[in-house]
């Protein structure tokens, strides 16, 4: 019953901006943490940015100062603002959530991914 739906991916030129959004279905109990991962061809999936319900954030070194993660827990939504995009940011971006589907079950969920392509 739990679903994560990403949106906001697309094609942009280097130096441009995109904002990704991820919405978790409302049929959940609570969210412990949400974040964004990405995977480029031939590379392992890596953490881009994440945050916990307590407000702690974590960013990949390659995106610090350019990307910002934010969340609205009341709406079960997490966003990733991406500025000053570079061709090396090209990847499929995946939303991730660690959440309680009920008061007893804590599990890790993934969205299907959204393509971000940055042209030079």
Taking all residues of the chain, what is their mean pLDDT, rounded to a whole number?
A: 93
The mean pLDDT value for 43-52 works out to 95
The mean pLDDT value for 6-14 works out to 97
Residue 74: pLDDT over 90 = no
Closest of 72, 104, 109, 65 to residue 86, by C-alpha: 65
Strand boundaries in the chain, DSSP class E = 4-7, 10-13, 18-24, 30-39, 46-52, 57-59, 67-72, 77-82, 91-100, 106-110, 114-119
The mean pLDDT value for 14-40 works out to 91
Q: Do the strands 18-24 and 57-59 form a parallel or antiparallel pair, or are they unpaired?
A: unpaired
Local confidence band at 54 (pLDDT 50, 70, 90 cut-offs)? confident
């Amino acid at each position: 019953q739990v679903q994560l739906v990403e949106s906001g991916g697309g094609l942009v030129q280097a130096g441009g901006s995109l904002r990704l959004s991820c919405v978790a279905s409302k049929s959940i109990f609570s969210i412990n943490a949400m974040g964004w991962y990405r995977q480029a061809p031939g590379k392992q999936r890596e953490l881009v940015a994440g945050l916990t319900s307590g407000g702690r954030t974590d960013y990949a070194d390659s995106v610090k100062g350019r990307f910002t993660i934010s969340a609205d827990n009341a709406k079960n939504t997490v966003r990733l603002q991406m500025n000053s995009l570079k061709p090396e940011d090209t990847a499929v971006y995946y939303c991730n959530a660690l959440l309680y589907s009920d008061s007893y079950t804590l599990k890790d969920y993934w969205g299907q991914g959204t393509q971000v392509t940055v042209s030079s």
